[in-house]
Amino acid sequence: MIFAIACAHILGIWVLMQVPAMREAMHQTSPMMVDLIAPPQPPEPALPPLPAPAPPRPVRPAPTPLPILAAPATTPAPAAAFLAPAPPAEPAPAPSPVAAPVPAAPPTAAGPPPRRMLPPTAVQYLVLPPVEVPRLSRRAGESGVVWLRVVVDVHGTPAQVQLQRSSGHARLDEQALWAMRQARFKPHTENGIPIELEVTAPIEYALE
């Protein structure tokens, strides 16, 4: 017990003896410079890249309007028409051989004048031929031109009607022959005398 108290006194004395030395050491120690360094700032988050601009859409050129096609104005053709062709060319007369003189014949009664070949434009109709497309021909789509050879007597009546060129359809040919027989012509005269004549008459059958 006494030993412990003695040790405590000795320790206290030693501490007191060390206090001046510690103070002197603290005065001799140079002051320390402390720099306060700001903590590094956290890096700013990187901005997401901007989306690439969409490529421009190709502009389609406006379609060129198709030209309006206009239907030609047509006049409806009649069911059948009587055509007037150009007059046929007359053949050049062949040179006649020189004949030996013959004795004069006694006078005889004058016969009918020779038949004349005339174009249809020189003939006048008093009654037109009743031309029409037959019903069966219309249904079958038949068309064409019929050429007729007509002999007109001195009274203007078709004395003979013959088929000169067919239309290619028997029904049209028959209708043209029948229609021309119903026609009546103005008698043709020369020097005041009625004469018989011959004409070539075409009749056209066209579908509307």
The model's pLDDT over 126-135, given as tens digits with 9 standing for 90+, comes to: 999 999 999 9
Tell me, yes or no, whether 160 lies in a domain.
yes
Tell me, yes or no, whether 25 lies in a domain.
no
Number of Cβ within 10 Å of residue 130's Cβ equals 12
Which CATH number goes with the domain that contains 185? 3.30.2420.10
Tell me, yes or no, whether 152 lies in a domain.
yes
Distances (CA, A) of 148 to 79, 91, 118, 162: 18, 20, 14, 6
Which structural domain, as residue segments, surrounds residue 156?
80-85+116-205
Token pair of 195 as six digits: 């004469």
Amino acid, single-letter form, for residue 181: R
pLDDT at position 196 is: 92
Closest CA to 143 of 120, 179, 121, 175: 175
Rounded CA Rg of the chain: 68
Is pLDDT of 171 > 60? yes
- Which band of pLDDT confidence, cut at 50, 70 and 90, is reported for residue 163? very high
Count of structural domains, the chain = 1
Tell me, yes or no, whether 111 lies in a domain.
no
Tell me, yes or no, whether 162 lies in a domain.
yes
Residue, of 89 and 171, whose pLDDT is higher = 171
Amino acid, single-letter form, for residue 37: I
- Which band of pLDDT confidence, cut at 50, 70 and 90, is reported for residue 168? very high
pLDDT at position 123 is: 78
pLDDT at position 74 is: 38
pLDDT at position 68 is: 32
